[in-house]
Structure 1
Amino acid sequence: MRTQPFFLRRAGVLAASAIGLSALLFLTIAGAQAQDRSRGKQRSIPYVSITKKDGTTRYFETNAIPLLINKACFGWRMWLGGPDRSVQMVEVLQTSQPAKDVIAGPETEVNPEKTRATTRMREMVRDGFMQRSWCIIEGDPPGTYTYHITIDGEPRGEFVFCAIEVPSQDENTDPTELNCPNKFQSVEDPRARPTIVAGAAQGR
């Protein structure tokens, strides 16, 4: 696994607005932002992006990760509300099996077994949201991937993904069509504030 580079994550903040006002539907950035405002949606969601060889990127509101090497990324978009601001974030990414390699900056601590990456850093909340993602590299295992998110010392949510092997490495794979045993089981942390809803799409 590798963290998405800083400049790509910043560009991705706007792109993530294109994710999932309805599950499995890809929207343009402008269209998604307009629908968010009109419908008053304040949701936290898991998402997957796939970048093709031609540079185009598709976004899906799903927690099924196709293991497309150097093409697929998986992340979370969380509603925190309030003004634009800097917050202290702790993100723990846990995998059910060891990764071959974990590529990240000095803000991330990886355990010796390479099953847990803990990132501690300040991040920006913009328009009430913040988001992060990791990307798939060679040697990333199938199985369960779980994000645990803490903001300013308070647990705020959990996002549960399932990573699925794709032998063909087909960049046109639709992650919403993959068979994921824990599909859309990202849940709100019971200790989080009641305004936070992590993984709004449930029980598909």
Structure 2
Amino acid sequence: MSSIYEPTGHTDASPVVRQVLRSDAMRVVLAVAELGSVRSAANAVGLTPSAVSKQLRRMEEQLGRQLFVRSHKGLVPNAEGEALADFARRFLSLAGEVGDRFGRELVTGHVRLGITDDVGLARMPELMRRCAAVHPGLRIALKVAYSSELLESTRSRSFDLAILSDGGAGLPADAIRLQPEPLVWAVLYSHMV
């Protein structure tokens, strides 16, 4: 007996089909079909080649049919493999749409960010673009200032966040050190003492 929770026009999926319809299994099938080798597919999906081979063998055993043929070019999907790769492509596309729509919490609001020009001002436009893509509801007001001004503005709550290079003193107790940056001096050879 089918229920409203099953795909339209299909009977209850067997445990074998449920096992195959896992996104990691679909990624492996699609990667092998498109890239033609276990090693390339393993690199693409972040698994070892032996794990990819094992997953392919298990899938072929569970489905009771061969999906790929070995040739001088590597692994080539047969008709069944092509059909499954096509299903995998559509399955992963739909899974991606669900993730895009529901997978991340919508962050909204306004953040006042202060930075010093020596703390990556050149990288800020790209970081701001990436942040806007991930959190389109978040607005960031950016101000470039001296470290001393940023510290004072953070203490007085004029900024929500400040990224600065510190002199080692005067940082608030809740400051987080992001990364050490070596300080170097560059001088023309002719000016050396």
Q: Same fold (TM over 0.5)?
A: no
TM-score w.r.t. the length of structure 2 is: 0.20
Q: Which has the higher helix share?
A: 2
Larger RCO (CA within 8 A; separation ≥ 6): 1
Q: Which has the larger radius of gyration?
A: 2
With the length of structure 1 as denominator, give the TM-score of the two structures.
0.19
